[in-house]
Structure 1
Amino acid sequence: MDEVVGTGRLLSLQERLAIADGLVNFESMRSIAARLGRPASTVTREVAAHRDERGRYMPHRAHRDAADTRARPKASKLARVGPLREYVVDGLSRKLSPEQISNRLKVDHPDDESMRVSHETIYQALYFQARGGLKREV
């Protein structure tokens, strides 16, 4: 079989099919991983996580399941109307920097984890309006 080379962090369908072929041919996890250019632990975890009720590795189902569970972009914490957004808008209107606002939140709300936001998130909300739209309010 031709060597299959991994192209990124996530396994491709072609790699999953190569794993299935290797298992059918009784190859070791290490040899399958070497052929794919992946760590043996990656192949071992993939096979363990995507076996059917009879213990067979199912590459197409594995690929579909991986796509379904992949992290999707979520709305910024500052996109939602609420006390955190109001606090940030108030701080920006008082000419505080995002770093100052982020640090001040920890002091003013030490026990409230919902009142936490990084300065990077504030910058994103300011400069990428699609994510938070703070620029319109400030």
Structure 2
Amino acid sequence: MIPAHHVARVIDEMIEAIPDDQLFVHYTGGGRRAYHPKMMLKMILYGYSQKVYSCRGIEKLLQENIPAMWLAAMKQSDFRTLNDFRGQRMKAFMDERFETMIRKLIADNYITMEHYFLDGTKIEAHAN
């Protein structure tokens, strides 16, 4: 049901290339059984690729979007779990892997840096 060149397949390929030991370093163990970090990372990246940045929006994707369901292996993570994963467990990991992922996307010709725009505008509000 997912076409061969769909963004979900690209994300799946990129995340599966990450060794498990790099992800499990951020888990101390104990407690309830966790969702696999690769599945969680796939969901966060897929949400971002669909311009969905809130954890509640990504949770909704898991319930309604077929590629999202495929990436999550039909598991239903709630927004709190997604937020904890994104904000606490993987914050440092995602920062260090971002450049590596961009370089891989360029090498595989998924993106080019031909037209790169960066907007650093800061606007200050005058409200109380």
TM-score by length of 2: 0.36
Higher Cα radius of gyration:
1
Higher relative contact order (CA 8 A, sep 6+): 2
TM-score by length of 1: 0.34
